[in-house]
Amino acid sequence: MTHPNTASHRVVGSVYSTGQSAVTNPLPKATAAETAQVLAEVEFPTIAKGPIVRRPKVVAAVERLGLEARAVTRMQTMAEKYGRGPLMLAVPGQKMATVLDPDHVHRILEESPEPFATAETLKRHALKHFEPKVSLISEGSERARRRDANEKLLDHNHPIHRMAEQFMPAVREEAAALLEEVADNDDAAGQLNYDAYFNAWFRLVNRVVLGDSYRDDMELVELMETQRKRGNFAFLRPVNTEDRAEILERISQAVDKAEPGSLAAFMKQIEAAGDTETSRDENVQQVPQWLFAFDPAGMASYRGLALLAAHQDRLDAARYQIAEEAQAEAPMLPLLRATVLESLRLWATTPMILRETTREVEFEHGVMPAGTTVLIFAPFFHRDEKNLDFAHRFAPEVWDHQRTREEWPLVPFSGGPGICPGRHLVLLLTSNFMAEIVRQRSIELTSHELEPGNLPALLDNFSLEFQLSPR
pLDDT in tens, 325-361: 999 999 999 999 999 999 999 999 999 999 999 999 9
Q: Quote the longest CA-to-CA distance of the chain.
A: 72
Evaluate whether 197 touches 461 at the Cβ level (below 8 Å).
Answer: no
Which H or E element spans position 357?
strand 352-357
Report if residue 300 sits inside a domain. yes
- pLDDT tens figures, 6-56: 433 344 444 455 668 888 899 999 999 999 999 999 999 999 999 999 999
CB neighbours of residue 70 within 10 Å: 16
For residue 257, name the pLDDT band (cuts at 50, 70, 90): very high
Residue 2 falls inside a structural domain: no
Residue 1 counted as domain residue: no
On the question of pLDDT at 402 being above 90, the answer is no
Q: Is 465 helix (H, G, I), strand (E, B) or coil?
A: strand
Compute the distance between CA of residue 412 and CA of residue 350 in angstroms, rounded to an integer.
7
Assigned domain for 447 exists? yes
Burial of 240 (0-12, 13-18, 19+ CB in 10 A): middle
The whole-number pLDDT of residue 199 equals 97
Q: Alpha carbon 269 to chain centroid distance?
A: 28
Residue 123 lies in a domain: yes
Is 277 domain-assigned?
Answer: yes
Please tell me the distance from the alpha carbon of residue 397 to that of residue 418, in angstroms, as a whole number. 25
Read off the pLDDT of each residue in 284-313 and give the average, rounded to a whole number: 97
**Which residues partner with 356 through β-bridges?**
117, 373
Indicate whether 84 belongs to any domain: yes
**How far apart are alpha carbons 420 and 412 in whole angstroms?**
9
Phi then psi for residue 160, to 5 deg, are -115, 110
Q: Is residue 351 part of a domain?
A: yes
CATH code at position 170: 1.10.630.10
Provide the mean pLDDT of the chain.
94
Lowest mean pLDDT among 32-36, 166-170, 275-279: 275-279
Half-sphere exposure of residue 11: CA atoms within 13 angstroms, side-chain side: 18
What residue numbers bound the domain in which 110 lies?
7-470
Summarize the confidence of residues 105-119 as an average pLDDT: 98
Q: Provide the domain count of the chain.
A: 1
